[in-house]
Amino acid sequence: MRNSLSRPPSNGTRLTEGRGGTRKAGGGGLGQARGAASRLLGFSQSGSASRGAGARATREGATTAATATGQGAGRHRPVGPLTSSDTGCSRRCRALSLVPMEEMEEELKCPVCGSFYREPIILPCSHNLCQACARNILVQTPESESPQSRRASGSGVSDYDYLDLDKMSLYSEADSGYGSYGGFASAPTTPCQKSPNGVRVFPPAMPPPATHLSPALAPVPRNSCITCPQCHRSLILDDRGLRGFPKNRVLEGVIDRYQQSKAAALKCQLCEKAPKEATVMCEQCDVFYCDPCRLRCHPPRGPLAKHRLVPPAQGRVSRRLSPRKVSTCTDHELENHSMYCVQCKMPVCYQCLEEGKHSSHEVKALGAMWKLHKNQLSQALNGLSDRAKEAKEFLVQLRNMVQQIQENSVEFEACLVAQCDALIDALNRRKAQLLARVNKEHEHKLKVVRDQISHCTVKLRQTTGLMEYCLEVIKENDPSGFLQISDALIRRVHLTEDQWGKGTLTPRMTTDFDLSLDNSPLLQSIHQLDFVQVKASSPVPATPILQLEECCTHNNSATLSWKQPPLSTVPAEGYILELDDGSGGQFREVYVGKETMCTVDGLHFNSTYNARVKAFNKTGVSPYSKTLVLQTSEVAWFAFDPGSAHSDIIFSNDNLTVTCSSYDDRVVLGKTGFSKGVHYWELTVDRYDNHPDPAFGVARIDVMKDVMLGKDDKAWAITEGGITKGATVGVLLDLNRKTLTFFINDEQQGPIAFDNVEGLFFPAVSLNRNVQVTLHTGLPVPDFYSSRASIA
């Protein structure tokens, strides 16, 4: 006898008692379920819609709160359907439902018939089939391989009945297992046919008997086997036949909504004759209105003012979430699903928990699991939505690539045609030059031959005249007269004969052209004409960005910093920093490496430099960055350099004051060197004992440090001229005019101390222990010198 359960406890926990023992299952009514769903999804409704939905939940909760947990007051009491309205569907689910449905049509079509599912059933492999299509692809197995015969023979050791260990698994009562197989050992050899979408369709082993029952209720052949046309997994049906498979009510609802969405525009539901197109829908009244009917039947006043009016499309979406008929248990057709079996992952009824195979399984409230799985599906859809968004962006990128490829192809073809045309033009120009040479040779040959013809013609005429004259002389009968001229004529005849015998009758020019065009190297080059470099598949780095906030100058040094663009995906192997010469000249490389910050020393003072940077990798170099303009200091600020000074030099006052620990003269240099511009600094004599000989001037970096300044050829200095304690020595280095001038107490010492001073120079001092001096920098050039220089 089954135990009837009492009213659930107030805390929402229900205790069920049966053969499987006492189990806990979440419950607590629809109001708690609604709140849990809202908290779980992180959304809430607002305004009058929220209040209206809450009212509905309260009214419906009176009939469904108890039954949602699986029991209620009576075991045959129908369980109210759980709809999205009851649970307060979140905006996220509503937003997902507004996604265009045209692209999911293939999900709604049967793989056998290729049409929309009609009364779909769910196979254990989670795929769906129409009931009629499932009956059409049934195959009858031999009696010896049926589960009944195996159980009768005692060969079965578990709830699974195998046709063959390596072929298939059988559907059992204790489990919804299934397997795949390559074919039955004794299966019928009826040829298979193909459905419209190309899957295999197995015809029935024998024509179904004539019956007036529906496909689900009509008897199926004994020991029938069904194979999923999508994953090709097979199972043998039990005594229930196709009724043992649950019906996919959700899929039916989706198909109905999809077909409604494809229908014509929504019409007003209150127009008496020809319905007009609806303009709004009231969510509380669940009615579509046109504008006249809305003003007449749904005025915005009184209680109706709180109703929420939405566009028809959104109202259609809301209607999609309307309650559907309740699905019943496949094992107990008179029972509605009321709980969820966690182990079998399927809804079950009250009777399954009391008598069926789920009596010892863990179960949970159907509403709670519905909300949980709905939330999991929503979260999974968010991830899939992100992937779909990325796929759409990728498709846009590919379409842009198609356009870019076409544009690049046109550009490249134009460039190739231009290059080939340039070669043809060069060949035509060379052809013209060679033809000119041939014509020149032709004219030369003709001239030589014509000149020779003219010369021979004249000579022949003279010879013929001489011959005729001699013949006439021979005819004379006067011996004395003949003898007077005969010797001269004989000499002329011999001379003329000799003239014809010295190559006169040989052509001076041949008819052949002694020119042969050597075109084999050019033909070989044309045959070898090819693309010498194929563009690498990997791109070059992106253009670096100069970080202006970190770029600065100090004295004659410049510090530059740069970085790769934030969205750059191509790594850079290094960078090339370029600066011009400070006078607008050509750029030159000053740094090549992986660092993104560089300090360039030794620039000219009071000069403007242009800097730019580019990145490189194995593929090539990036475009240049924007050009940065840098201005060095007008005057130099520096101190003495302990690093290059003699070890006897003593520093103080931040290296601006120096003295010496030795009686011998020692040299100390300034930190900054000068190679361009006009520079002025001063030194004050703080201590001057026993008449030492300090020297002040400039020197090269490799000056001798242990002798007085100026003793070698690498220093220029002043060593006398009224230097006393408290005196101020000024040094003026004019590298534009290549001169060095000294001042003592603002008075110039002579015209110019040194000229033709050229190169890199450092401020320098030599002193011993009897002298202490302090350096003063950053001073402008004296006014009188500036005016004199401008006049000059």
- With helix as H, strand as E and coil as C, how does 479-545 read? HHHHHHHHHHHHHHHHHHHHHHCCCCCCCCCCCCCCCCCCCHHHHHHHHCCCCCCCCCCCCCCCCCE
Q: What does the pLDDT read at residue 405?
A: 92
What CA–CA distances, in Å, run from 44 to 38, 221, 380?
A: 6, 53, 20
- Single-letter code of the amino acid located at 518: D
Q: What share of the chain is helix, strand, coil (3-state, %, to 5)?
A: 35, 20, 45
Residue whose entry in the numeric block shows the structure tokens 């229930």: 240
Q: What does the pLDDT read at residue 539?
A: 84
What is the per-residue DSSP string for 328-375?
Answer: B-SSSTTSBEEEEETTTTEEEEHHHHHTSTTTTS-EEEHHHHHHHHHH
Contact 162, 146 (CB under 8 A): no
Q: What does the pLDDT read at residue 203?
A: 45
Could you report how far apart the first and last alpha carbons of the chain are, in Å? Answer: 127
Q: What does the pLDDT read at residue 102?
A: 62
- Single-letter code of the amino acid located at 8: P
Helix or strand holding residue 688 (H, E): strand 678-688
Q: What does the pLDDT read at residue 555?
A: 85
Distance CA 546, CA 561 (A): 6
Joined tokens for residue 184: 């039955």
Q: What does the pLDDT read at residue 538?
A: 67
Q: What does the pLDDT read at residue 749?
A: 82
Residues of the chain with pLDDT under 50: 1-98, 144-145, 147-148, 150-216
Distance CA 330, CA 121 (A): 11
Q: What does the pLDDT read at residue 236?
A: 83
Q: What does the pLDDT read at residue 661?
A: 93
Whole-structure pTM value: 0.35
